[in-house]
A and B are shown apart, each in its own frame.
Chain A
Amino acid sequence: MNVINFTPFSAFAGGIIIGLAVILFFIGNGRLAGVSGIVNNALVSKKNRTDNFLFIVGLVLGPIFYIFFTENNIPFFITSSLPIIIIAGFLVGIGTKVGKGCTSGNGICGISLLSLRSIIATITFMITAIITVKLIG
């Protein structure tokens, strides 16, 4: 293992900002900012639909505000082919729906609530993702 491209300060700062979004959503609306759940509910449920759509619109506006106010570019590279993208998106949709959570819902919110379920979910998706990268990378 070689450590490369490590950006601890921007990572930690970005994490704190994400944490602020999570606590605002919790203190204000009493909800957990798990993105897979919010997107899934916006699609299939009438409950809180406007709130969910507004959260999603905000999520898309975030990078635009960041670029506008900091005048930084956001490095962004995808090397996967289109069929792989489509299969991966499908697996992420199926998996987060069946497992009830993604990196934000289980990985950040669930762990912050000390939920054993979320801790096990996070360990599980980390392991299968690392194995997948090892196999296809």
Chain B
Amino acid sequence: MISKIISFISGIIFGVGLSVSNMINPEKVLGFLDLFGQWDPSLIFVMIGAIIVSAPVFFLFRKKSKPLFADNFSIPTLKSIDKNLIIGSGTFGIGWGMVGFCPGPAISSLALLNTYSVFFVLSMLGGFLLIKLINGVIVSS
């Protein structure tokens, strides 16, 4: 039960952070990606702020035997630098650069009741399902 509350509050705090930094705003994100034009470096400060807080806590706390309200840590063990990583991340970047939305801000922006956010999120879910479908076909054949 407590883990559910933690998930909920984590989501809220994350959404507040995206609002304070204005990363919820595609125009702000595109300003960062417009490196060769009118550049707005803000996004890198968001990442640095988040990493400064989380890196030391990850480093110290992952040595514990388990988290406070769950039985074990779920940290991805995948280490390989493979073609899926490069092709997937590269494809994500193209979509990100087209509009200025990545998954967190796109979901958070549903709060602003913008129709475009709804279409973006639905298309993103469609992308997830397509890959699940393709993976299913490959595994079963």
Instruction: Return chain B residues, CB-CB under 8 Å to A137.
Output: 30, 34, 37
Instruction: Return chain A residues, CB-CB under 8 Å to B9.
Output: 24, 58
**Do A24 and B10 have beta carbons less than 8 Å apart?**
yes
A59 to B47, CA, bound (A): 18
A49 to B79, CA, bound (A): 26
A14 to B21, CA, bound (A): 4
Instruction: Return chain A residues, CB-CB under 8 Å to B20.
Output: 10, 13-14, 17, 66
Instruction: Return chain A residues, CB-CB under 8 Å to B13.
Output: 17-18, 20-21, 24, 58, 62
Chain A interface bracket (under 10, 10 to 19, 20 to 34, 35 or more): 35 or more
**CB-CB nearest in chain A for B15:** A62
User: Chain B, 45-83, contact with A by CB distance < 8 Å: what is the 0/1 string?
Assistant: 111111111110110011000111110111110111100
**Do A19 and B92 have beta carbons less than 8 Å apart?**
no
Cβ of B133 to closest chain A Cβ, rounded Å = 10
**Do B46 and A91 have beta carbons less than 8 Å apart?**
no
**Do A35 and B103 have beta carbons less than 8 Å apart?**
yes
Given A18-B50, A88-B123, A89-B119; A132-B94 close (CB under 8 Å): yes
Given A1-B35, A60-B111, A76-B25; A19-B123 close (CB under 8 Å): no
Instruction: Return chain B residues, CB-CB under 8 Å to A91.
Output: 91-92, 94-95, 98, 127
**Do B93 and A128 have beta carbons less than 8 Å apart?**
yes
B89 at the interface (CB under 8 A from A): yes
**Do B99 and A85 have beta carbons less than 8 Å apart?**
yes
Interface residue ranges, B against A (CB under 8 Å): 2-4, 6-28, 30-31, 33-43, 45-55, 57-58, 61-62, 66-70, 72-76, 78-81, 84-104, 106-112, 114, 116-117, 119-132
Interface residue ranges, A against B (CB under 8 Å): 1-8, 10-33, 35-36, 39-40, 43-44, 50-52, 54-67, 74-80, 82, 84-104, 106-109, 111-117, 120-122, 124-134, 136-137
Please give me the 4 A-B residue pairs with the lowest Cβ-Cβ distance, nearest first: A62-B15, A93-B127, A15-B49, A58-B11
- With contacts A26-B58, A65-B16, A120-B86 known, what are 13 further pairs, Cβ within 8 A? A5-B28, A23-B53, A26-B67, A55-B7, A58-B7, A74-B24, A76-B27, A78-B114, A82-B116, A95-B93, A98-B131, A99-B92, A134-B34
